[in-house]
Structure 1
């Protein structure tokens, strides 16, 4: 079996899911174009703010932790290409670029968190030469990436304690190696369990309208040798009724102080169904996805996506284009439906207002 966070191309090359190799590509961000999967495995190299902003908006890179890593490394790449004479001019350019990238997608808190961390790293160095500021920015971005890799592995280790041989697991959207620095959040426990010899049966919701579950989750699990079955989103209730599901694990884009959780549209529905069928519903996320400044789910901004994602999914007209469309990218699962949060610090359980505050104080 290949490493669970790498894949083999048709020509035999082994590649990684997220490869921002600025050392080998000075001033460029290199990452998989996820809009082309599973038909093509291709990398794009990005060097300017508009291209990186567009890549985040178009979901070339997606998944809350990966967006944060891409934005931080993208900021470093863009600012390495700036021709400015003074530290003040450089810092002003960094702030403008960070503000621009932060507006690409509003729901995932990791995006603004990573960019803010990059800005904070420069605060005490305002008189340093431009070249030193560029190096600090790049090192901070690389630190964010390395930290995310370590956080995901820790999430996998803690989450694997919930799994037993032969279990059926439902997941929604993609929260694997493609959505993070290198290993995944919701899929990390599955990878760790597989490494320990457990045989699991994973059911992957297709995740309408952009099919991240069928295009991305099923692809990476299959490449890793893990048993995966794709189901349509509206089949989850039947699969649960047939007692094929023992546990649900999903990722998250923002978690409020009380535990209300924003994740890909359809997650709330899966949580309601799991609650009805008495199936434990877990959310896997690193500390950077928790947002203590937002008291509850009502304060989470929900991104609205273009109507064409529904009316012309993947180029084919699937509905009359003259009718109205409503396309929220995320929904919010109330904390009452969540059995626990799988984090790098362990599994946090209710009452969440207390346990989350204690864990991330």
Structure 2
């Protein structure tokens, strides 16, 4: 990831190695603020209150949270209690449970005195693997983007995104954005239509921030503008990330993704989902079985923005509101899945 012209990662150990530093995404793009997490409770709050978000990134922070818990108490009861607290923070993204399971499996056979160090090592490895997976997703996606650009070589390739599936949502590169960054770096002319992504505006606040820092041409659009752009031929492909993909290929992602997939299907625009194997949930048969997180209505009825006096929150309505955070796109609407193994037309359990 490029931040202020420097390459870095979205999560890193503190100087003493006992905690982690993450970007407080609630402050972006107005302020780049690194915050330290020093306990499992800190990690749980950061995940639940969306200081950090994105399926792979939630998994990484959860893994470190479990390691930090074991540094305080490492018996089985402490392990189980910390696991239960962390796994409940965000129920939809499968990466959190996957990462916690990885750390728990690594330490459970060990004596308590050895568990904290082993947990930190496993969390570090999860982060390193995530970077490698996203880089591979980017490389396979770059091949796809080259093919798409060859169909219209005289103009930039127009990609539409929804929500934020960039390096802020992972340890580096992102999922949906990885092919875009590699394409830009390779000299392929690419332009990104960035959905604002109400109600938390992750596109407007986060994806646009990322693309600007990387120098990728982009334009912010209202969520409901995507269908018109597709109908006009101004979108060459839709690429989104995902929080969980069921065994049948159904895709759970930020609310509004389903509508983009419907519009793409109606206008013959290819619709791709970028994900690592850690986001594929073979134990869930279809999207109907995925728990959809309901978040606070205030995310919908209030909005925060920058003023001359700093960040301020205003009320948009006095009416009651309902705020489901995700929807499910049926597999039949997905053109392909951009994975670390290649661009696949269907998914199966990794060997």
Answer whether TM exceeds 0.5 for this pair: yes
Equivalent residue for 1:118? 103
How many residues are matched?
335
What corresponds to 2:92 in structure 1?
107
149, 154, 163: which is aligned to 2:131? 149
Alignment equivalent of 1:256, drawn from 240, 246, 255: 246
Distance 1:26 1:78, change over 3 A: farther
Match of 2:25 in 1: 34
- State the distance in 1 between where 2:7 and 2:335 align: 36
Residue of structure 2 in register with 1:318 after alignment: 316
Counterpart of 1:66 in structure 2 is 57
Distance (Å, rounded) in 2 between the aligned partners of 1:325 and 1:112: 29
8 A contact 1:26–1:77 mirrored in 2 = no
Give the conservation status (yes or no) of the 8 Å contact 2:302–2:317.
yes
- For residue 75 of structure 2, what is the aligned residue in structure 1? 90
Q: State the superposition RMSD in angstroms.
A: 1.4
1:170 is aligned to 160
Separation of aligned partners in 2, 1:167 and 1:110: 31
- The answer on whether the counterparts of 2:70 and 2:115 sit within 8 Å (CA) in structure 1 is no
1:199 aligns to 2:189 (yes or no)? yes
CA distance in 2 between counterparts of 1:114 and 1:44 reads 22
Q: Secondary structure at the match of 1:34?
A: coil
Structure showing the higher strand proportion among its residues: 2
Please tell me whether residue 57 in structure 1 is matched to residue 48 in structure 2: yes
| Distance apart, 1:259 and its partner CA | 0.4
Q: Secondary structure at the match of 1:182?
A: coil
SS at match of 1:316: strand
Task: Work out whether residues 41 and 65 of structure 2, in 8 Å CA contact, stay in contact via their aligned partners in 1.
Answer: no
Paired residues for 1:122-137 under 5 Å: 122-125=107-110, 128=111, 130=113, 132-137=114-119
Residues 129 and 238 of structure 1: is their aligned pair in 2 closer, same or farther, counting only changes over 3 Å?
closer
1:21 correspondence with 2:13: yes
Q: 2:216 aligns with which of 222, 226, 247?
A: 226
Match of 2:52, SS state, is coil
Q: Could you tell me the TM-score, scaled by structure 1's length?
A: 0.90
Match of 1:270 in 2: 260
- Partners of 1:111 and 1:133 lie apart in 2 by 19
Question: Mind listing any 5+ residue stretches in structure 1 that lack a counterpart?
Answer: none
Q: For the residues of structure 2 that align with 1:154 and 1:77, how far apart are their CA atoms?
A: 30
Check if 1:281 corresponds to 2:263: no
Maintained 8 Å contact 1:281/1:340: yes
CA deviation profile, 1:28-57 (whole Å, cap 9, x unmatched) = 121000010000000110112222111101
| Matches of 2:98 and 2:168, distance apart in 1 | 19
CA distance in 2, matches of 1:17, 1:60: 16
* Contact 2:195–2:204 (CA under 8 A) maintained in structure 1: yes
- Normalised TM-score (structure 2): 0.92
Residue from 65, 72, 77 that aligns with 2:68: 77
Give me the whole-angstrom Cα distance separating, in 2, the residues matched to 1:62 and 1:222: 20
- Partners in 1 of 2:9 and 2:51 — Cα distance? 12
8 Å contact from structure 1 (residues 71, 111) kept in 2: yes
